[in-house]
Amino acid sequence: MRIAVVGTGYVGLVTGTCFSEVGIDVTCIDIDTTKIENLKKGILPIYEPGLEEMVLRNTQKERLSFSTDLASSIQGCDAAFIAVGTPPGEDGSADLKYVLAVARAIGHHMNDYLVVVTKSTVPVGTAQKVRQAIEEELAARGADIPFDVASNPEFLKEGAAIEDFLKPDRIVVGVASEKAEDVMTKLYKPFLMNGHPLIFMDIPSAEMTKYAANAMLATKISFMNDIANLCEIMGADVNMVRRGIGSDARIGNKFIYPGIGYGGSCFPKDVKALIRTAGENGYEMRVLKSVEEVNEHQKSVLFNKISAHFNGNLAGKTFAIWGLSFKPKTDDMREAPSLVIIKKLLEQGAQVKAYDPVAMEEAKHSLGDTIQYGKDEYETLIDADALLLVTEWPEFRSPNFTVASKLMKDKVVFDGRNIYDAKDLNEKGFTYYGIGVKQ
């Protein structure tokens, strides 16, 4: 089998590389020449555990190649995956200009039957627009070449993308012909060894599945954040409540961890897009509107605790921040709650010294020299008035608090992810604040 993957961002690169890993001949295409030249040298535009090694291995075996030339790369392919960006436009809707430009380019250059697969997260109805764009291009050059469109949403988590791709919980594919179903079955067969299903459905349902999945997960998080805030008021401990409800299989124990709000490139964007799609079609997503509202509020919760502890007097104080990325094992800073917290602290005249194992370079794009960057987590603690745990990287889980207490000016910990034990820290002389736990 042979495929082309257009777009070497997060989704495209992981998809192309993992397909090549099982022996499929893959060309990853991008219009960004520098990106392609770097990829040919094994330099990746993103950080994702295990990806670099996999790219190198498959490039060496000549199953994976990189090109800026879409016209020649799609020839002889069974399928072309569109995995380019869909940035939110000014009004919050997904901007389809890149997706449709790729569709037109495919229509302009294809010479044989092809399944054109949308892999980017796109609103319901996009596959139909992709079909139209290809038809128009074919008609313009008087070509009568058969093709199919398919929708194949991705459910990868950053930081665990390779594992998620190679051993998926499920693969969802929207198709409108048996021929397309046949091609997609052959492509995905190597990934179904764990017995999990390849689910075929109509195209709009596949497009909707992606949004419904992310919206449901975001709902779980906002719901737990709301419960956590109430626990605090009522003197309950959300860690206990979480364990209590999570053991009910109908609820499940995943994605019910309270914190400082969800971030990243997916949940905030997809929740907004679904609210908008519904609105445009005369329906109001009442639950999701609240999910968004709770999330916005949650990003301020840690700051509010800090402000209350220091009686609103933050000017001249120094705060150590551990973790900047929106979640561990990624350098992704998009919609990271750390940015909201840092902005609020700086506005109050406080100073920030941050450390993140991977995301500091990325963070500098938005934070520049408004904050200081530590060479490791302990360095940030020197003379700090408090420690703020913002991203729960594994290396922050069990620090040496005896060393920490000697470095810090004041022994206060604000734990935005509930990874530390309040009792243990209190015994070591620290004042501890968590989310949804007794102070």
CB of 299 to ligand UGA, least distance (A): 10
Among 98, 188, 223, 255, binds ligand UGA (CB under 6 A): 255
State yes or no: 146 annotated in a binding site.
no
State yes or no: 268 annotated in a binding site.
no
Among 99, 103, 206, 217, binds ligand UGA (CB under 6 A): 217
Q: Cβ atoms within 10 A of the Cβ of 34, count?
A: 10
Query: Site size for ligand UGA, by CB under 6 A?
Result: 20
Instruction: Between 326 and 396, name the residue whose CB sits nearer to ligand UGA.
Output: 326
Phi, psi of 22 (to 5 degrees): -95, 10
Q: Is 157 in the site for ligand UGA (CB under 6 A)?
A: yes
Q: Is 263 in the site for ligand UGA (CB under 6 A)?
A: yes
Instruction: Between 107 and 323, name the residue whose CB sits nearer to ligand UGA.
Output: 323
Residue of 18, 28, 231, 266 with catalytic role: 266
CB of 398 to ligand UGA, least distance (A): 19
State yes or no: 221 annotated in a binding site.
no
Q: Which range, of 96-104, 149-157, 233-241, 424-432, touches ligand UGA by CB under 6 A?
A: 149-157
Instruction: Between 267 and 420, name the residue whose CB sits nearer to ligand UGA.
Output: 267
Q: Which of 147, 105, 150, 108 is nearest to 126 (CA)?
A: 150
In this structure, what token pair is assigned to residue 13? 């690169």
CA distance 120 to 10: 10
Q: Cβ atoms within 10 A of the Cβ of 284, count?
A: 10
State yes or no: 288 annotated in a binding site.
no
Give per-residue burial for 253-267: e unless 16+ CB within 10 Å, then b.
Answer: eeebbbbbbbbbbbb
Q: Is 158 in the site for ligand UGA (CB under 6 A)?
A: yes
3-class DSSP state for residue 347? helix
In one letter, which amino acid is 217? L
Question: Pattern 84-123, binding to ligand UGA, x per CB under 6 A?
Answer: -------------------------------------x--
Q: Give the footprint of ligand UGA on residues 298-327 (CB under 6 A).
A: 326-327
Q: How far is CA 358 from CA 15, 229, 313, 322, in A?
A: 22, 30, 32, 12
CA distance 41 to 286: 49
Q: Which of 405, 408, 439, 406 is nearest to 422 (CA)?
A: 439
Q: Is 257 in the site for ligand UGA (CB under 6 A)?
A: yes
Q: Is 223 in the site for ligand UGA (CB under 6 A)?
A: no
Instruction: Between 74 and 221, name the residue whose CB sits nearer to ligand UGA.
Output: 221
**Whether 266 is catalytic:** yes
Q: Is 238 in the site for ligand UGA (CB under 6 A)?
A: no
Instruction: Between 174 and 264, name the residue whose CB sits nearer to ligand UGA.
Output: 264
DSSP-assigned letters across all residues of 277-328: HHHHTT---HHHHHHHHHHHHHTTHHHHHHHHHTTT--TT-EEEEE--SSST
Q: Is 297 in the site for ligand UGA (CB under 6 A)?
A: no
Q: How far is CA 60 from CA 45, 55, 162, 273, 335, in A?
A: 19, 9, 19, 40, 36
Among 187, 256, 302, 384, binds ligand UGA (CB under 6 A): 256
- Do the Cβ atoms of 44 and 51 come closer than 8 Å? yes
Q: Give the footprint of ligand UGA on residues 325-344 (CB under 6 A).
A: 326-327
Q: Is 154 in the site for ligand UGA (CB under 6 A)?
A: yes
Among 266, 274, 320, 388, binds ligand UGA (CB under 6 A): 266
Non-local (6+) Cβ contacts of 127 within 8 A are 118, 149, 150, 151, 174, 203, 207
- Do the Cβ atoms of 303 and 317 come closer than 8 Å? no
Residue numbering of the annotated binding site: 30, 35, 86, 121, 155-158, 210, 255-259, 263, 269, 327, 334
Q: Note the residues at the interface with ligand UGA (CB under 6 A).
A: 121, 154-158, 214, 217, 221, 255-257, 259, 262-264, 266-267, 326-327
Catalytic positions: 266
